[in-house]
Structure 1
């Protein structure tokens, strides 16, 4: 179980003499094992919402809950993958993946079993004893995802995890994440600026508006993806050429363009 719920969530920054309303009236529910992508203009509060779920920050008003329990602090049921890899450079791939398991007190035998399974799942077995500086950027981010995945979290929070990668590596990582998400579903909240990435990966896409940040629209991707058989295609470019994909991408772009036009008006 990993359902996420935002109930009338707001965030105000400032004090009695002044400030601004960053988020207001955010209502959103992410179902158990659903992959939800969140897109929106810069400064709309996407990452702030993710931080609420992670327990790194708290809303000024409203509530954020996971499985009906109000989030007040970080917990092992939620794992976060950031844009920067944040790997320990003096530790090997295996040791980096082991960090979270040690922190939550998992016994050595179980840690070894989980690490071996995750290395295989992430196609990292041959790099288990390498250090981060010996890996490409894409490989380092794969280790970062593995470090979160090995915890078997109910909720996986991903804050623009591919934003620092070059275009080709980003595509490979998107294909890898689709493979993982379909084979071993988790509740995923995925923050991104890339519309194509959101459409390709997600079951639903939440579009945010700004000033103040709020949910403008939610686009249901999964029924179209399943009806059109997107997952039968091995390469992202084959999916991106489909009329159904192009239609969804254009719909989201138009919604985001409206927000930009209002900002510049």
Structure 2
């Protein structure tokens, strides 16, 4: 397993005016090995930019991003990315989509079948092996995307609004599924979301960003409360009714409220 470190990271983009747009300024953040960190912030606070730099899809203008102590210079098999759009191959079956990364790594076919069967069972998807993406609901498609990411056994899982395209009911189910999966087979997770409830329910810590430019505002530690009250064994609706959950959600929301504009 590996940790993620952002050390004094600034990211700017060129503009037509010649004055660079600063998306993130001087952000330092450490995500410990096997820790689940959710990042929230208003639009324009640099949430996705942080994730893309950890993935090696963008690079800091200043500072450094390291995974497992090594500077990130490009995408790598130690990091899997799950985007909001499901990004499945429409011409491949569920089985073939999940096995795609394994095949690229040269994993023997028999072992591919074992791994695919394991994640089909873990994601409650038995019986869908031979279906194509268009035959699945949005929630099921995202389960396939998550299973495909887990199947290659990455050290780090980077998730950018993975449930943002789902309806409210499906999103709730997927949040419970992700808690179950990440507690059973923990990875180092950086999870980007706009939803405060989602961040508090899923994460060990919630990172709150401010904007103009994006910068670290505060970090809220969720894990001690979650473990003390055993949130993971309770249905999500029971957890969200707890006074402790309401307190933490309000704490995060107050940090965000003065950053949000009417047009967000």
What does 1:185-204 align with in structure 2 at a 5 Å threshold? 185-204=186-205
CA RMSD of aligned residues (A): 1.4
Q: Displacement, 1:21?
A: 1.2
**Match runs of 1:162-241 below 5 Å:** 162-233=163-234, 235-241=235-241
Aligned residue for 1:126, secondary structure, equals: coil
- Normalised to the residue count of structure 2, the TM-score between the two structures is 0.96
- Determine the C-alpha separation between the residues in 2 that align with 1:95 and 1:232: 33
Alpha-carbon separation, structure 2, partners of 1:76 and 1:135: 27
Counterparts of 1:6 and 1:23 in 2: how far apart (Å)? Answer: 11
**Aligned length, in residue pairs:** 262
What is the CA–CA distance in structure 2 between the aligned matches of 1:133 and 1:169, rounded to whole Å? 17
Tell me if the contact between 1:76 and 1:104 (Cα under 8 Å) persists in the aligned partners: no
For residues 77-102 of structure 1, the C-alpha deviation after alignment (integer angstroms, 9 at most, x for no partner) is: 00000000011111100001111112
Alignment of 1:72-83 (within 5 A): 72-83=73-84
Q: For 1:138 and 1:19, how far apart are their aligned partners in 2?
A: 39
Which TM-score applies when normalising by structure 1?
0.96
Distance 1:213 1:107 in 2: 45
1:29 is matched with 30
Cα distance in 2 between the residues matched to 1:143 and 1:253: 32
Structure 2 alignment gaps of length 5 or more: none
- Deviation string for 1:1-29 (max 9, x for gaps)? 22000000001111693222111100000
CA deviations 1:196-221 (Å, max 9, x no partner) are: 00000000000001111111100000
- 1:39 corresponds to: 40
Give me the whole-angstrom Cα distance separating, in 1, the residues matched to 2:220 and 2:250: 12
1:11-58, CA deviations, whole angstroms, 9 ceiling, x for partnerless residues?
Answer: 111169322211110000000000000000001110010000111110
The answer to whether residue 136 in structure 2 is matched with residue 135 in structure 1 is: yes
